[in-house]
Amino acid sequence: MKIPVLLCLLALVPAFSCQHQGHSSTIAGGQDTLVNKAAMAAEVRDAFIHAWNGYVKYAWGHDELMPLSKQAHDWNPHSLLMTPVDGYDTMILMGLKSQADSAKKLILDSLDFNQDFYVSNFETTIRELGGLIAAFEWDGDSGFLKKATGLATRLMPAFRSPTGMPYRYVNLSTGATRGNISNPAEVGTMLIEYGTLSRLTGNPRYYQVAKKAMMTLYGRRSRITGLVGSAINVNNGKWIGKESSIGGGTDSYYEYLLKSAILFGDTDCRNAWDHSIIAINRYLADTTYGGLWYGHCEMDSGKITGTYYGALDAFFAGSLALGGDLTRAEQLQASNFRMWELAGIEPESLDYAHMKILDGTYELRPENLESCYYLYHYTHAEKYLRMAKIMFESIQRYCRTDAGYAAVKDVRNMTPEDIMDSFFLAETLKYAYLIFAGDKVLHFDQVIFNTEAHPMKRIPG
Ligand code: DMJ
């Protein structure tokens, strides 16, 4: 019974065939030999070592490696060691002892947050604060917690707005703020980090400010649809952009409602997620064009404004799975993989109504592999191992350089770009590794990942 049904489905769903060069079998079919998980985990680990070696050789002490020019890039006038901080817990999980030792020494000896410049509150929270907290959780050295607490103290002035929703930028030395026009992701992606810090330090203040920001934003949802918009003034709580989606600028707000509900047993967050997911599926889910996608609409009317989807949206299959909706999660992951296969690597943005690439950049993003990891965890279906293998192999093929891994300027011609973002080490390679290495390395059900893939331990009570 099983095989003919599967074959029929495959005939109806061309998206499940691997079309680009080098892959002749199907994802769902059983023609391939089983994926050798141990060999794949070793390959991903080697890829991490290669990326890290490039950083060590050409960008040591800086934020990021430029993998083509073999130079260093800093986000600010002074490095905040973005790559080592973001990549540290991946080294621990991969058992890379000597790399972890040298990264740890660099971080503990020279990471200094007393800097007179403005940083993005969101990026610094998810990469630096999240990275340092996870470093403490998995390494145990209190030096990491001290750095994390020092950083949080410097970021906290960002929340001093009339509404409690944070400003986008904060000066780490003076506490001055700027950027009152923000978005759901930058307002509502703090509670995993700040809440965990409260748990670790016993100081409830961190939890309180981050939760207030998130709940204030939730309170500003449309009374008609239940959706949030794209841009909000944190001084008066008025929406400046009313386009609603699950994509960039909104994504991790929804992710954190669900994850905070699970990590902290927070009933307000649970309630907000339960209501939001109904609205998302009612107004943004789109099955008109074959498969399941999530598009854009106007937040009050629910009127569709765009059939756009992209690399960032791909995280949502994982959130659907974590939220218990495995049916939609599987459908969306099939679309995610279809997007990946369109040019051999996923684009930043796609019009799914016409399967037309709108922005061909690939920034070494993790979300597609992240969702694949969630789906494999929940289903143990071999097809997700195959998807992950294909995605990882195309990164090897198109992004690997002699100094590290490079983003792609346009996946339609695979021209490389001189960027290796820190999330490649924090997220992309971590999720790829965890798919193949499995629960022996990290028990999925015992952690919640922040949006930068830093695993926070689930502590009962
Ligand atoms: C990461 O910094 C985080 O995953 C964030 O939530 C979205 N963008 C990047 C990765 O694509």
Among protein residues, the one whose CA lies closest to atom 10 of ligand 1: 365
Q: What pLDDT, in 10s, does the model give residues 216-248?
A: 999 999 999 999 999 999 999 999 999 999 999
Closest CA to 373 of 458, 312, 314, 457: 314
Among protein residues, the one whose CA lies closest to atom 3 of ligand 1: 452
Is the pLDDT at 2 greater than 90, yes or no? Answer: no
- Among 64, 193, 367, 427, the active-site one is 367
Q: Could you tell me if 154 and 172 are in contact, meaning their C-beta atoms sit under 8 angstroms apart?
A: yes
Catalytic-residue membership of 348: yes
CA of 451 to the centre of ligand 1 (A): 6
Complete DSSP assignment for 70-126: TEEE-SSSS---HHHHHHHHHHHHHT-HHHHHHHHHHHHHH-----SSEEEHHHIII
Q: What was the pLDDT predicted at 22?
A: 38
Cα distance from N-terminal residue to C-terminal residue, the chain: 46
Is the pLDDT at 23 greater than 70, yes or no? Answer: no
DSSP state of 344: S
Q: Could you tell me if 321 and 45 are in contact, meaning their C-beta atoms sit under 8 angstroms apart?
A: no
Complete DSSP assignment for 207-257: HHHHHHHHHHHHHTS-TTT----SEEETTT--EEE-EE-SSTTTHHHHHHH
Among protein residues, the one whose CA lies closest to atom 6 of ligand 1: 451
Confidence grade of residue 11 (pLDDT, cut at 50, 70, 90): very low
Pick the atom of ligand 1 nearest to 365's CA: 11
Determine phi and psi for 250, rounding to 5 degrees.
-130, -40
> Taking residues 191-216, what's their average pLDDT?
98
Residue with tokens 């929406």: 239
Catalytic-residue membership of 452: no
DSSP state of 402: S
Q: How far apart are CA 207 and CA 268, in angstroms?
A: 13
Helices 142-155 and 97-110, axial angle in degrees (round to 10): 50
Q: What pLDDT, in 10s, does the model give residues 122-173?
A: 999 999 999 999 999 999 999 999 999 999 999 999 999 999 999 999 999 9
Q: How far apart are CA 326 and CA 331, in angstroms?
A: 9
Q: What pLDDT, in 10s, does the model give residues 276-335?
A: 999 999 999 999 999 999 999 999 999 999 999 999 999 999 999 999 999 999 999 999
Q: Could you tell me if 167 and 161 are in contact, meaning their C-beta atoms sit under 8 angstroms apart?
A: yes
Q: How far apart are CA 151 and CA 146, in angstroms?
A: 9
Report the percent of the chain where pLDDT is more than 90: 92
Catalytic-residue membership of 367: yes
CB atoms within 10 A of CB 74: 15
Q: Could you tell me if 307 and 294 are in contact, meaning their C-beta atoms sit under 8 angstroms apart?
A: no
Q: How far apart are CA 94 and CA 274, in angstroms?
A: 35
CA of 27 to the centre of ligand 1 (A): 26
Catalytic-residue membership of 298: no
Q: What was the pLDDT predicted at 460?
A: 79
CA of 423 to the centre of ligand 1 (A): 7
Pick the atom of ligand 1 nearest to 127's CA: 2
Q: What pLDDT, in 10s, does the model give residues 64-80?
A: 999 999 999 999 999 99
DSSP state of 23: -
Question: What's the whole-number average pLDDT of the chain?
Answer: 94
Q: Which of 82, 83, 126 is the pocket-test mutation for ligand 1 (most atoms within 8 Å of CB)?
A: 126
Sign of the alpha-carbon torsion through 9, 10, 12, 13: positive
